[in-house]
Amino acid sequence: MNSRFASLLDYQNYAKNILSKNIYESLEDGNGDQVTKSENEEDFVRIKMKLRGMANMKYFKGIEKEFNLKKVSSPIVMGNLPLQGRFCYDGEIAAAQAAKELGIIYTLDCHKSSKCQDQIMKESVGGAKILMLSPAQTGQKRTEIIEKFKTNQDVIAFAINLGLESQTDSYQKRHGKQDQDALEQSQSAFSLNDLKSLKISVGSLPLIVKGIMNKEDALLAIQNGADAIWISNVGGRSLDTQPSAISVLKAISQTVRKANPQVQIFIDGGFRRGTEVIKAISLGADFVCLGRPIAWGLVFKGKDGLKEMIELLTEELKLGMVLTNNMSINEINENNVIHSYRYRL
């Protein structure tokens, strides 16, 4: 592990100094006044943790999780960061290989990938993968991808990304025109009937619905075919001034578990510390997904840089668990972890 880097923010600062201004802004910027993007990170500070003084590392059992009968080494997931070739030559291949070697889940963006999907799958055989589909794709294109990969042993689920990105001010300033990809997504039609059809297409594999930010949509998703939900506000790139992801997690998880205890919950949105992963799990999440940090790790040293960064985050997670006296990932709950909340007025 590189001793110069003590946190994910060190990797971010490195990436900022290496990437061109345009690429860095396209990665980092949120929508509008970036209120939601900021609150994604700031709201973690409002959740205070409970230190337990008599914890002992020798009793630590581990952080392994399971999804669709597939055991993975950690609740940390590589989310669907588009066009990873912007950050290192091997792009998605490097990231998928890093995830495989770490034993964690990798999410392949099947709408916006820099490398050929076949090549990514071939060069990371053995790693657990979620394939992310988009409403911006035609129904025929989504079906083709499902039929091609649903028997692949590495594919543990398909997901549909309903978190629509909006126009960012910085894109308009850089290019003097609207972001056509954002417009294309915003005009894409995807109905509950499409969701039901998608579930039929994926067959026995789990279907994850990404972009859930309220109880109503969570219930609609699981009532119409979703086996898991993914809480996300697209990293603050969608509707600005909507809540942070962590602030809606508890209410959504309670509603979902009451309706169907088997539904698993993924979440992304501003996760930069191992303690933040613990907070999310204590409030009902099963898996915590990274977005922008994937780019930071890739910029540093490709596959090895990304592995190193996630290993650092994992050590923070383990230390935080010990200090809250949670000796296995399954022991984490709100009563064990949360001391208090400081709500916004």
272 is in an annotated binding site: yes
**Cα–Cα distance for residue pair 315/317, rounded to 1 Å:** 5
210 is in an annotated binding site: yes
What separation in angstroms does the CA of 209 have from each of 56, 213, 264? 39, 11, 11
Structure tokens at 178: 């609207």
292 is in an annotated binding site: yes
Closest CA to 137 of 148, 146, 129, 124: 146
DSSP string, 263-292: -EEEE-SS--SHHHHHHHHHTT-SEEEESH
What are 210's strand-pairing partners?
161, 230
Q: Tell me, what amino acid is at 115?
A: K
244 is in an annotated binding site: no
Q: Tell me, what amino acid is at 203?
A: G
Q: What is the DSSP letter of 328?
A: B
Sorted by sequence, the CB contacts under 8 Å of residue 111 that are 6+ apart come out as 82, 132, 133, 134, 136, 137, 161
| H helical segments located in 164-291 | 169-175, 180-186, 192-202, 215-223, 245-259, 274-282
Interior CA angle at 284 toward 44 and 232, to 5°? 60
302 is in an annotated binding site: no
Structure tokens at 245: 């992801």
268 is in an annotated binding site: yes
Q: Phi/psi of residue 228, each to 5°?
A: -155, 155
Q: Phi/psi of residue 173, each to 5°?
A: -70, -40
237 is in an annotated binding site: yes
247 is in an annotated binding site: no
**Cα–Cα distance for residue pair 28/198, rounded to 1 Å:** 31
Strand pairing of 207-212 and 155-161? parallel
Strand pairing of 155-161 and 129-133? parallel
271 is in an annotated binding site: yes
Please report, in range form, the residues annotated as the binding site for FMN.
210, 232, 268-272, 291-292
Please report, in range form, the residues annotated as the binding site for glyoxylate.
237
Please report, in range form, the residues annotated as the binding site.
210, 232, 237, 268-272, 291-292
